[in-house]
């Protein structure tokens, strides 16, 4: 699904960037230019970022428990 229409960035690209170590909206902004133009995508970018970070953290939390 397209998240940033101004730069044609989809959710898979954001998830891939997070998997490669980007963990902030500012980092996604630098890497993918999301939010650089109109900013309407930023709430969606934050949601995808937070969901992806939680998914990455879940397996680690299960190993500790």
Q: What is the CATH number of the domain that holds 34?
A: 1.10.10.1100
Dump pLDDT digits (tens) for 3-22.
999 999 999 999 999 999 99
**Domains held by the chain: number:** 1
Residues 6+ apart with CB under 8 A from 9: 2, 3, 32, 33, 34, 41
For the cut 80, the answer to whether the pLDDT of residue 65 exceeds it is no
Domain assignment of residue 60, given as a range = 2-64
pTM of the entire structure? 0.88
d(CA 30, CA 36): 9
How much is the pLDDT for 59?
72
Dump pLDDT digits (tens) for 29-56.
999 999 999 999 999 999 999 999 999 9
């Amino acid at each position: 699904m397209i998240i940033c229409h101004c730069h044609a960035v989809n959710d898979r690209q954001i998830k891939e960037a997070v998997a490669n170590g980007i963990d902030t909206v500012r980092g996604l902004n630098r890497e993918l230019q999301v939010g650089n133009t109109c900013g309407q995508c930023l709430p969606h970018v934050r949601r995808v970022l937070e969901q992806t970070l939680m998914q990455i953290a879940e397996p680690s939390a299960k190993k500790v428990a």
